[in-house]
Structure 1
Amino acid sequence: MADEEKIILVTGGSGLVGKAIQTVIKKDNLPNEKWIFISSKDADLCDKKSTENLFEKHKPTHVIHLAAMVGGLFHNMTHNLDFLRKNLHMNDNVLQTAHEYDVVKVVSCLSTCIFPDKTSYPIDETMVHNGPPHPSNYGYSYSKRLIDVQNKGYYDQHGRLYTSVIPCNVFGPHDNFHPSASHVIPGLMRKLYNILKDGNTEDKVFTVLGTGKPLRQFIYSLDLAKLFVWVLREYDSVEPIILSVDESQEVTIAQAAEALAKAFDFKGKIAFDTLSADGQYKKTASNAKLRKFLPDFQFTPFEQAIKETVDWYKENYDIARN
């Protein structure tokens, strides 16, 4: 397959990671690669026939499967069944149709929230199925875990090289800033932007839900995109691989809020609504497996990535997913 043309279909291609891959590919496209980025406008991946029509049209040799029903903590807590069913349908349709169309390789996107709630840290790739996930988002978590199970099934029964990556919390340009769908950084970014709409004064208060103490590893979408492309081209195992910043780069929610305040040059005060739920205290992931392959990979410093994302958001507010 090395010299033959690769036709790479990217589902969820208009989302945060899809847009980042588009940016990376513009700088690093190989002559034998044709990239096709599709969104929900192009096909309903919850429908098998619609998925088949998409594959028939583009005849991909490789697939990066990013499409998913996603949302923030509070939306997840009230819609677990929806997250389970929609993602199960979508993932099964993409993997089975890829198999039927003789797709060489599929790289699916999982999430660190799939790991057991009660576990030891740091978490690694061997621990995915070692106990139930956090009860706040079990629907989404189980649907994503089953991709790993299916990948092994396609390998055992059909010799397929279908694999998955497990990123830590992703943020960057083209994120989803809508209140019901946003994760922590885009959610806080939108909130702060709205506070600053009518002036940046010292009496303004930026209220963060929770105590600010939970720890998270955040990966800049452009860094993740480079790693996704590497996985597609070089990583040849069915076993999942964690794509995360180093453990030393973990930050608290409070530190993330402070970085945002600095990037916006916010003059007011940060407050914490300690009556609101924190979610999981930490989900520290080990990137030791990734580092074995890419010991010298440089992640964008957190404050720089935050500043670039804030600048993008301010410049593109009218077209951002608000």
Structure 2
Amino acid sequence: MSTVILVTGGTGLVGKAIEYVIKTEPENSRFGKKPDETWVFASSKEGDLRNPEQTRKLFEKYKPTHVIHLAALVGGLFKNMKYKLTFLRDNILINDNILHTSHLTPSTTKLISCLSTCVFPDKVTYPLDETKIHSGPPHESNFGYAHAKRMVDVQNHAYKEEFGCNFTSAIPTNVFGPNDNFDLEDSHVIPGLIHKCYLAKKNNTPFVVSGTGKPLRQFIFSYDLAKLFIWMLREYDDVEPVILSAGENEEVSIKEVADAIVKAVGFQGAYSFDTTRADGQFRKPASNEKLLGLIGGFEFTPFDQALDTTVKWFIESYDNARTGKKD
């Protein structure tokens, strides 16, 4: 029987990374395309996943045997704070439709959903691990989104207990790479800084980074994350989620990120930190001990190399990248 993998949110950062890996890794290798596989990277144009009927039609069209569920309503900090109910409700609808349609579709035998480290409690002992998801409320700033994502883990367990469904979830740390959202107003830290530095070089203006640069973050390159999703699809069949991340010893300060971006962009102008702006949480390290114990060895792309690849893609794709307002 042939395998049909449906990737929802297939034209986003992670979906594009999975497509890239499937196309470029050697065929029939651990992360490459298998001879009997058909990969479908669905975009929002193919159906509104908040709508159960449109979700059902998407599944009827492709008859997937496996689903990697990446589709979500996402946004930056300020959007999350302003539209808590919208982020809660839309994501609950999307997730419920995907999970329930996967359960009802006879051909579908496995589902992996993508969560986020924001599901973890605001007040928690570090490092984060897979047992701590529900041990306290999430941070107020992403209350809606985080609760909607948490419910996926709850539903995975309920579907397994009641119907025996092979549903699970992945929890990546901060993802970056080609095809990211580089919008100056609504992007995450790395794509936002890349765009700002690019414009500073282009316009011969100062490059100013918000905050002190001291906070630490764990980043994962989208191509590495794509390989880990492919691994989960083929080799991981437990309902319990897995944190997909480089190790705690791979934490990078925001200053180190900015320094690397300055180097990769080739910026030689004035460069400073606006210490009047808030830093946010200092660090929130996550453990990848479970992942490494299961996968049996995995080499993460060195941060500088991954950043160089991302910057190069952004500059080459500037006119078509998701950059929001142009200069």
Which residue pairs with 2:265 in the alignment?
Answer: 264
Question: Tell me, what secondary structure is at the counterpart of 2:38?
Answer: strand
| Paired amino acid for 2:18 | I
Q: How far off its partner does 1:113 sit? A: 1.2
Secondary structure at 2:122 match in 1: coil
Mapped pair 1:151 → 2:156: yes
1:16 partnered with 2:18: no
Residue 56 (structure 1) aligned with residue 94 (structure 2): no
1:233-257 Cα deviation digits (max 9, x unpaired): 0001000000000111101111111
Q: What's the CA shift string for 1:249-282, capped at 9, x where partnerless? A: 1011111111111101111233222232323221
2-side partners of 1:32 and 1:181: how far apart? 39
Match of residue 78 from structure 1? 82
List structure 1 runs of 4+ shifted beyond 6 angstroms: none
Task: Tell me the secondary structure at the aligned position of residue 68 of structure 1.
Answer: coil
Equivalent in 159, 164, 169 of residue 169 of structure 2: 164
Cα deviation, residue 309, structure 1: 0.4
> Are the equivalent residues in 2 in contact too, given 1:217–1:245 (CA < 8 A)?
yes
Identify if the C-alpha distance between structure 1 residues 73 and 165 changes in structure 2 by more than 3 Å, giving closer, same or farther: same
Q: CA 1:75–1:212 in 2, change beyond 3 Å: closer, same or farther?
A: farther
Shift of 1:180: 4.0
Q: Which amino acid aligns with 1:308?
A: T
C-alpha contact 1:217 1:249 (8 A) present in aligned 2: yes
- Where do 1:221-236 residues align within 5 Å? 221-236=222-237
| Inter-partner Cα distance in structure 2 for 1:9 and 1:263 | 35
Letter in 1 for 2:17: A
TM-score, normalised on structure 1? 0.95
Aligned counterpart, 1:242 = 243
CA deviations 1:129-162 (Å, max 9, x no partner) are 0101111111111111110000001000000010
- Counterparts in 2 of 1:163-242, with a 5 A limit? 163-199=168-204, 204-242=205-243
Query: Which residue matches 2:279?
Result: 278
Residue 44 of structure 2 aligns to a residue in which SS? Answer: coil
Compared CA separation, residues 93 and 180, structure 1 to 2 (3 A)? farther
Letter paired with 2:91: N
Q: Distance in 2 between matches of 1:75 and 1:156?
A: 36
- AA at the equivalent of 2:65: T
Q: Which amino acid aligns with 1:16?
A: L
Q: How does 1:73-112 map to 2 (within 5 A)?
A: 73-102=77-106, 103-112=108-117
8 Å Cα contact 1:9-1:62 kept in structure 2 = yes
- The answer for the alignment partner of 2:29 in structure 1 is none
Distance in 1, matches of 2:77 and 2:279, equals 9
Distance (whole Å) between structure 2 residues aligned to residue 15 and residue 93 of structure 1: 19
Q: Distance in 2 between matches of 1:83 and 1:277?
A: 24
What corresponds to 1:31 in structure 2? 35
RMSD: 1.1
- 3-state SS in 2 of match to 1:197: helix
